Amino acid sequence: MSLIVTGSIGIDTVKTPYGMNEECIGGSAVYFSLAASFFTNVRFMGVVGEDCPFDLADVFKGRDIDLEGLEIRKGSKTFRWCGSYEGDMNEAQTDAVELNVLAESPPQVPESFRNTEYVFLANTAPSLQMQLLDQLGRTSFVAADTMNLWITTAQDDLRKLLTRVDMLILNDGEAKLLTGQTNLITAAKEILAMGLKYVIIKKGEHGSMICDVAGQMFLLPAYPTGVVIDPTGAGDSFAGGMLGYLAQAGIVDMATLCRAMAYGTVVASFTIGDFSIQGIQAATREMIEERFKMLRKVTQF
């Protein structure tokens, strides 16, 4: 089934204990689309400015990614982010950010995209996420990402958004911030009560968990990776692998979601193995299946 994503395209500068990568391609929609394209066709929505140094057609060459929803906006500048990681590298430190086009109106959804069944609203302002939903027809499944910035500055809009989506993906710190709870099980229950069917809480190197309104729960460790070069985009790759698999399967239930989480975890393990998109670009579906089997083996008892 069809899958659409709307999110950022960025010019990133990233520093980790393994070095610095300057002026590289980044952005939630980019990582998500690369991950999801291993499983299904991706309809890409995003905006860049006239200054964007990347040719996304070249970046996505050979991938099943439809760029009809990409807008190059005259007179605007592309989103920029500078960040650094230290210690266990579970959290990025934002050193500088220029929202640029992300502070402007969202792109218009092409007519050919309006019938998309599966939707992912990558991390951006909740008001913009809702504007995208307003442009779509009937959908089968909608998932959204968020971050501490919107929880702090736009929580009213975020809560309105949550009544319109099926699943929220966020990390443990964001779940605690949104609910005021320190226990993640309690936090998950409170988030579900906001109008969702499912919530996924990411726990960095400690894996992820999913809970649903029926009280079912599944916990999955991270893929055992010896070296983490650059965690940027790991969460978006996780979401891309998940939603891509769901769209390929054409069904959403707890069993399918658990397998989708495993695929998302595996795809993210390639992203963190190199700077920017180099790790995920070098991966193949065969390599993903090999790691999927390994993850399944080490989690059975």
What residues contact 37, with CB distance under 8 A and at least 6 apart? Answer: 60, 63, 64, 65, 240, 244
How does 90-119 read in b/e, with b if 16+ C-beta sit within 10 Å?
bebeeeeeeebbbeeebbebeeebeebbbb
| Residue 52 pLDDT | 96
Fold assignment, 3-299: UDP-N-acetylmuramoyl-L-alanine:D-glutamate ligase (3.40.1190)
Q: What angle do CA 243, 249, 255 make, to 5 degrees?
A: 85
Q: Which of 177, 158, 149 is nearest to 92 (CA)?
A: 149
DSSP state of 117: S
**3-state secondary structure at position 280:** helix
Looking at residue 149, its pLDDT comes to 83
Please list the pLDDT of the chain residue by residue as tens digits (301 residues).
899 999 999 999 999 999 999 999 999 999 999 999 999 999 999 999 999 999 999 999 999 999 999 999 999 999 999 999 988 787 788 999 999 998 898 899 999 999 999 999 998 889 989 999 999 988 999 999 998 888 999 999 999 999 999 999 999 999 999 999 999 999 999 999 999 999 999 998 889 999 999 999 999 999 998 899 999 999 999 999 999 999 999 999 999 999 999 999 999 999 999 999 999 999 999 999 999 999 999 998 8
Q: pTM of this prediction?
A: 0.95
- The full set of domain ranges for the chain reads 3-299
Count of alpha carbons within 13 Å of 29, Cβ hemisphere only? 30
Q: Do strands 141-145 and 118-121 pair parallel, antiparallel, or not at all (unpaired)?
A: parallel
